[in-house]
Amino acid sequence: MSRWVDLHLHSTCSDGALTPAEVVCKAAKAGLAAVAIADHDNVDGIDAALAAGQRCGVEVLSAVELSVVWQEYQDIHLLGYCFDPHHAELCASLAAFRDFRNSRNEQIVIRINQRLATEGRLPLDFAAIQQRAGGTLGRPHIALELMAQGYARNKDEAFDRYLVPCNVAKQYFPLKEAIALIQRAGGVTSLAHPTYISRDRPVLVKLLDDFVDCGLEGIEVYSNQASNDDIDWFLSEANRRKLLVTGGTDYHGGHQEELVIGGLRGNLRIPYRCVEALQVAAARRQTRDSGSACRS
């Protein structure tokens, strides 16, 4: 019997609509064998997801999605898997990143409120936005508050009218540092939805080679952003470089209900062997690092 997985899900700990437990239970109802909730720059939901997995009979992998930068390419997304979610350095780095993000978002809200004042409208309450987020606060949460106040009909309008013109530059992890951070926590890394970076294959070939030189270990071959031809091509590129193959829907819930947990284009699904390969690679790293620590 085939077993299927989804290794790229989001919860309310970043910009998802469902709690970690709700995401895991929904995956169980979809018949998935394993999942990973890869919240943006946040590991706070992993313990709740693990507990829900035990209740629902779904294997849960620790995961995170980091916002990274490489040369002129900004906001590349790096997935980390099978690490220690309580690793002190990882948690401290993510906390510092979120502190900057919260400061950034507060500055964005201040700018939006200045714009609203010129329109004769009442300001947004930043505390209410924080409460709505419940985890890592991002611009989508500000958009939801603009919609709730009747200042925008949908997220697109919220971004076009307020969030884009009132933006404050985002901070990113340097790619090489992000990869090393995940590895020091005992995990392995995979490049998320690479077609978001570029659809120019010669460009992607060069970037993949550069990223592998930086320590990258995998590619998210299976994704809703990739066509069947893209998936075949990425699979070949992964095999050529002996990289891990991962996959996920990038499910956020809420407005994304057209996406189905565990379901990609048509009837394509993500095989359980992706989980097995990640676990083997992480176990090797942890054994190797443990041996190095004993010799030091």
Min mean pLDDT across 50-59, 110-119, 164-173 is at: 164-173
Q: What are the φ and ψ backbone dihedral angles of 78, each rounded to 5 degrees?
A: -115, 125
Give me the pLDDT at residue 135, please.
65
Beta-carbon count within 10 A of 267 CB: 6
Instruction: Please determine, for residue 239, whether its predicted confidence score (pLDDT) is greater than 90.
Output: yes
pLDDT of residue 170: 80
Amino acid at 278: L
Q: How many CA atoms lie within 13 A of 147 on its CB side?
A: 16
More confident residue, 136 or 175: 175
| Distance of alpha carbon 11 from alpha carbon 30, whole angstroms | 17
Angle at 24 between CA 287 and CA 76, to 5 degrees: 65
Looking at residue 294, its pLDDT comes to 55
3-class SS of residue 61:
strand
Distance CA 40, CA 137 (A): 10
Phi, psi of 4 (to 5 degrees): -120, 155
Mean pLDDT of 19-26: 96
Q: Per DSSP, what are the bridge partners of residue 34?
A: 5, 59
pLDDT at 253 over 70: yes
Residue 256 scores a pLDDT above 70: no
CA distance 169 to 15: 19
Residue 204 tokens, joined? 């992607």
C-alpha span between 116 and 167 (Å, rounded): 14
d(CA 77, CA 65): 6
User: So what's the pLDDT on residue 258?
Assistant: 60
161 pLDDT above the threshold of 60: yes
